[in-house]
Amino acid sequence: MKRTIFKGGKMFALAAALLCSTAALGSTYAYADTAQDQAAQAAAQGQAAEQAFVPAVSGQITSCKITGDKQNIEIGFNSSGDAAGTDGKIYIFEMQPFEDEIGSRRDYAASAAALGSTSVTIPLNLGTPQDRLYSRFMLAVYDGADFLPVSKPHYITNPEIVAKNQEAFKDPLTKKGLNIEIDMLSDAFDLGVKHVTTNIAFSQIMGTGITYDYDGVTYNFNKAVVDAYDETISALSGKGMTVTVILLNDWNPNTPDLIYPGTQKNSNAFYYMFNAQTENGFEQTKAIASFLADHYSGKNPNYGKVSNWIIGNEINNQQWNYMGSTDLTTYVKAYQKAFRVIYTAIKSTNANDRVYFSLDYNWMNEIDGKLKYGGKQIVDSFNSIANTEGQMEWGLAYHPYPCPMTEPEFWDDPQSTGLFTNDFNSPVINFANLNVLTDYFVQDTLRTPSGHVRHIILTEQGFTSYSPTRGNIPEIQAAAYAYSYYLVDSNPYIDAYTVSRQVDAPSEAKDGLKFGLWECDMNQPNLIVATKRKKIWQVFRDIDKKNATLEATEFAKPIIGISKWSDVVPDFKWRNLEN
């Protein structure tokens, strides 16, 4: 993280000229001219009407699923209205994600009688150049000349049914997570870390050394880069940690097709919008995603296992997912199109992997409607589009840093900033009002198609041990972590909580942001070298241990101003152990 409709009406002008004449011949000619004009106008209007025929049929695809035999797709749909001017049928067209119009096509996939509810079954063609796994489908009618769309497009909603890997998701024993330094794995083991995250730069996968065949096309990927990721991911998952990968679309002039079309490099942007808008972009994106999902499926311990996938970072701020100034709906549609491609690649490989998008804490704050959007706006728009085009089992990766990040006492944020409320339109949501986030997701409108509350993980947050006005405050940092962890641990709708730094980063520490469990060597500004444990280290180690947690956090009560944790933590997990 680093947050009138003008309805135009037609104008009609009526002019009448009465010409008086004693010449009957002149009067006859006047009437003849008028009749000819009227006939010409009627013919023109008829031609225009014919050219602009608008079908009075409307349709909706209600279901689009791979059948139990994994060989076909069953598409359920209905249509209603007046079929006059058509041949009385509904046609189903297959469209690729990058295709927006039927145009002059005639190659419909199936047809049925219009006006009513029915379903059709067509081949899936999985793993062939004619693979329909990523396709979307649209209903159309035929007016004798053209096929005209009468529905919104709809995608397959159960790609997981064809996955070779059907193993259940392995939930860790606790929610405790940490972004670790790979050369400090032993320290992570001592700390009892259960969740870890790592980044993968999308473009870096392209290269040489690995050949990968997908849907009849051979792709070449960078073996040296993949080997480096293998070393990290296998080391983490091999020790029983749940690995979350954040896929980031970096700018690389050698892979222009991975960037959303028309996007210009921007000095303020760290990463860019994924591209499923063009054919090349779609093909490369699905191939990379499929390769990564297969490679990190857990089938080879030397590669490791990725369980959670986050597509981009903090997408409510284009600094992290840049495509250029645009309105919310256009932005979310572009993002979701690419998200769905990656989601489908992952879920069709590993049925129970989880796929998320990421938001910072600006729930309804720092909104300009062009480059920055409210997190709530993103959630609502994403969910609305998916409701129309086919729902997914998407989840949320959220970053509830304190506000501002330069002070650790999040419990004071509402009073000090005025940016917090306990309703769904709160400008900011962080640990001070975290229940607002989960209360929002408990609503029926946001639940998965199966009725479950969507998965929420907290994948980047931390508390500084330094204050610009008070200097070093390691005990307040530790108290903030203890309080926040208890809030998360006692909330049944949050699956994981990952602290952003194992060790302070010099680049952040110089600005007073010391989020680590360890201090760092500021004399080595280009490296992250641990020097000394902070108070938070011991609290982190013991926070999820039944026999040690309350003792480890006792020091924090007077700092926060409480006598019992259950007074400030709803449904406190360890309340039965409190005196």
pLDDT computed for residue 47 by the predictor: 53
pLDDT digits (tens, 9 = 90+) for 296-350: 999 999 999 999 999 999 999 999 999 999 999 999 999 999 999 999 999 999 9
CB contact at 8 A, 59 and 90: yes
pLDDT at 413 over 50: yes
CB contact at 8 A, 531 and 537: no
pLDDT digits (tens, 9 = 90+) for 212-263: 999 999 999 999 999 999 999 999 999 999 999 999 999 999 999 999 999 9
**Closest-CA residue to 136 (of 90, 79, 106, 97):** 97
pLDDT digits (tens, 9 = 90+) for 42-99: 454 545 445 568 999 999 999 999 999 999 999 999 999 999 999 999 999 999 999 9
* Burial class of residue 524 (count of CB atoms within 10 Å of its CB; 0-12, 13-18, 19+): exposed
Q: Which two tokens stand for residue 414?
A: 């509402």
Q: What percentage of the chain exceeds 90 in pLDDT?
A: 91
Which residues does 530 contact at the CB level (< 8 Å), separation at least 6? 181, 184, 187, 502, 503, 516, 518, 519, 520, 521
**Closest-CA residue to 194 (of 550, 544, 549):** 544
pLDDT computed for residue 579 by the predictor: 77
pLDDT at 282 over 50: yes
pLDDT at 24 over 50: no
pLDDT digits (tens, 9 = 90+) for 515-553: 999 999 999 999 999 999 999 999 999 999 999 999 999
pLDDT computed for residue 41 by the predictor: 56
CA–CA separation, 32 vs 125, rounded Å?
Answer: 65
pLDDT computed for residue 256 by the predictor: 97
What pairing do the DSSP bridges indicate for beta strands 308-311 and 354-359? parallel
Instruction: Kindly state the average pLDDT of the residues 121-138.
Output: 97
Average pLDDT, the chain: 92
Cα 281 from chain centroid (whole Å): 18
pLDDT digits (tens, 9 = 90+) for 476-525: 999 999 999 999 999 999 999 999 999 999 999 999 999 999 999 999 99
Q: Quickly list DSSP for 218-287.
A: EEEEEHHHHHHHHHHHHHHHTTTPEEEEEEE----TT-GGGBPTTPPP-TT-SSB-B--SSHHHHHHHHH
CB contact at 8 A, 74 and 81: no
Write b or e for each residue in 181-200: b if 16 or more Cβ atoms lie within 10 A of its Cβ, otherwise e. beebbebbeebbbbbbbbeb
pLDDT at 23 over 90: no
Instruction: Kindly state the average pLDDT of the residues 396-404.
Output: 98
CA distances from 272 to 213, 244, 355, 396 (A): 26, 20, 19, 19
3-state secondary structure (DSSP) of residue 508: helix
CB contact at 8 A, 318 and 292: no
CB contact at 8 A, 358 and 315: yes
pLDDT digits (tens, 9 = 90+) for 170-202: 999 999 999 999 999 999 999 999 999 999 999
pLDDT at 210 over 60: yes
Instruction: Kindly state the average pLDDT of the residues 287-295.
Output: 98
pLDDT computed for residue 53 by the predictor: 83
pTM given for the model: 0.91
**Closest-CA residue to 480 (of 570, 555, 399):** 555
The kind and range of the H/E element at 78 are strand 72-82
Instruction: Kindly state the average pLDDT of the residues 119-129.
Output: 96
Q: Where are the alpha helices (DSSP H) in 350-392?
A: 375-389
Instruction: Kindly state the average pLDDT of the residues 276-305.
Output: 98
Instruction: Kindly state the average pLDDT of the residues 442-451.
Output: 96
- In eight-state DSSP terms, residue 454 is P
3-state secondary structure (DSSP) of residue 107: coil
